[in-house]
Amino acid sequence: EPEVTQTPSHQVTQMGQEVILRCVPISNHLYFYWYRQILGQKVEFLVSFYNNEISEKSEIFDDQFSVERPDGSNFTLKIRSTKLEDSAMYFCASRLYSSYEQYFGPGTRLTVT
């Protein structure tokens, strides 16, 4: 069964460094999403992406964040200058154009020290 994959599974970085989290959505999906979950808290929406542009973003998704679909398979989340409070699990999700059911990847645990 097709699934969303994410790399790396765990990333440790120092405060102020840039990180890129990578996702490979399900191949025929056209909508892509990033969410985050701080330990012990709710899953929070960050951004949605369709047709090579951001379709919606939350107030969390400030200028430090950016997303890109550099080729036909990858979808990336970049954090330019990480802060301690960026430590969280980051989930990528995707869905078909014709269905609203979102499929999530296993997540990348980001630890900022």
Site for other proteins in 37-66 (CB under 8 A): 41-45, 48, 56, 58
Strand 5-7 and strand 19-24: the pairing is antiparallel
User: Are residues 32 and 21 in contact, defined by beta-carbon separation less than 8 angstroms?
Assistant: no
**Closer to other proteins by Cβ: residue 45 or 74:** 45
User: What is the amino acid identity at position 67?
Assistant: V
Rounded to whole angstroms, the Cα distance separating 51 from 67 reads: 13
21-40 mask for other proteins (x: CB under 8 A)?
------------x-x-----
Window 69-88: contact mask with other proteins (x via CB under 8 A) = --------------------
- What is the C-alpha separation between 23 and 37, in angstroms, rounded? 16
Binding site for other proteins (CB under 8 A): 4, 33, 35, 41-45, 48, 56, 58, 91, 93, 99-107, 109
